[in-house]
Amino acid sequence: MGYRIVVVGATGNVGREMLNILAERQFPVDEIAVLASRRSLGTEVSFGDKTLTTQDLDTFDFTGWDIALFAVGSEATKIYAPKSAAAGCVVIDNSSLYRYDPDIPLIVPECNPEAVHGYSKKNIIANPNCSTAQMVVALKPLHDRAKIKRVVVSTYQSVSGAGKEGIDELWDQTKSIYNPTDDKPAKKFTKQIAFNVIPHIDVFMEDGTTKEEWKMVAETKKIIDTSIKVTATCVRVPVFVGHSEAVNIEFEDFLDEDEARDILREAPGIMVIDKREDGGYVSPVECVGDFATFISRIRQDSTVENGLNLWCVSDNLRKGAALNAVQIAELLGREVLKKG
């Protein structure tokens, strides 16, 4: 006996990836419904070797369905997630709407699987921000060994994190650079993204940080440990898929780089590729389509006591969004629903 699954926002980048991953991981699905807004109604999407037709989110009845994977913006989620939850269908939400609600668990299964039992307060589970998800997978096993005091992270985030419009803008601007008569001004981003980097993701806050940077701080504390100090600089780069992060970690106790490498090799969800030679590390184009979070460039930081540096790369549409949501569904099924 399997699950009745709903994918909300099935025509978007993350929704389509959720369907791919449910099929790839052979999630025990008895029945699946794909929902979209009325403007995308009737669009066909793939699920394994099947073709599914989207239904109207506005009129859909969630009663009798087990899990709803939400891949729509906060405004739509605010309307439809409570409807799903009230009908008894557990929501796993990829938007930022519920991440900071103390009654809603924010889960990365490799880090805090025990939090899944808190779902019952509101019948909703939150998926973290893409840049946070891959970082905490690397931080948690190291924190368990040596306790992290402070993290300084600089991100190199792909345009797919801004959705299809971000991908299209990079593609169109790149082509227009070579065609002087075809000017493509910035629309989705605040400045030209082709052959450029933009140190600005999401809105600015009063203290000068951006909302994306604030998310990494708040979510790391909620997922791993409230005592960890985090400071982030988040940058959009002209890469289609795959987020990269340069992470500097200061521990309470000394942790040797070789031991750290061994710990990460054994940790769930991580692949260590760390050779001190040309090409002995992973770049974003190499991680696309992979489930793993890749760690490279592990080395001591001699400028602080008990410091390490590392390079972290992951497919943001997968571990940063769709894969983590499906892993949460697997965890929920295994620990709570127990149907599959």
Active-site entry in 130, 234, 287, 312: 130
Known catalytic membership, residue 243? yes
CA distance 124 to 163: 24
Residue 30 and residue 57 in contact, taking contact as beta carbons nearer than 8 Å: no
Q: Is 309 annotated as a binding residue?
A: no
**Strand 55-56 vs strand 124-126: parallel, antiparallel, or unpaired?**
unpaired
CA distance 15 to 29: 16
Q: Is 163 annotated as a binding residue?
A: no
Query: For residue 334, what are the contacts with CB-CB under 8 A and spacing of at least 6?
Result: none
Q: 302: which 2 tokens?
A: 């001699």
For residue 246, count CB atoms less than 10 angstroms from its CB and return exposed for 0-12, middle for 13-18, buried for 19 or more.
middle
CA distance 333 to 327: 10
Q: Is 34 annotated as a binding residue?
A: no
Q: Is 334 annotated as a binding residue?
A: no
Length of the chain (residues):
340
Q: Is 157 annotated as a binding residue?
A: yes
Half-sphere exposure of 139 (CA within 13 A, CB side): 33
CA distance 226 to 108: 16
Q: Is 237 annotated as a binding residue?
A: no
Residue 236 and residue 200 in contact, taking contact as beta carbons nearer than 8 Å: yes
Q: Is 13 annotated as a binding residue?
A: yes
DSSP code of residue 127: P
Query: For residue 240, what are the contacts with CB-CB under 8 A and spacing of at least 6?
Result: 158, 159, 160, 167, 170, 171
Residue 66 and residue 44 in contact, taking contact as beta carbons nearer than 8 Å: no
Instruction: Return the amino acid letter for 124.
Output: I
Q: Is 26 annotated as a binding residue?
A: no
Active-site entry in 143, 243, 287, 312: 243
Q: 324: which 2 tokens?
A: 């983590």
Q: Is 46 annotated as a binding residue?
A: no
Q: Is 238 annotated as a binding residue?
A: no
Q: Is 160 annotated as a binding residue?
A: yes
Beta strands in the chain (DSSP E): 3-8, 29-36, 44-47, 50-53, 55-56, 67-70, 90-93, 124-126, 148-157, 229-236, 243-251, 270-272, 293-301, 307-314
Q: Is 276 annotated as a binding residue?
A: no
Q: Is 233 annotated as a binding residue?
A: no
Query: For residue 245, what are the contacts with CB-CB under 8 A and spacing of at least 6?
Result: 131, 134, 135, 153, 154, 155, 156, 311, 312, 313
Task: Please report, in range form, the residues annotated as the binding site.
Answer: 11-14, 39-40, 99, 157, 160-161, 180, 236, 316
Active site residue ranges: 130, 243
- Which parts are annotated binding residues for substrate? 157, 236
Annotated binding-site positions for NADP(+):
11-14, 39-40, 160-161, 180, 316
Binding site for phosphate: which residues?
Answer: 99
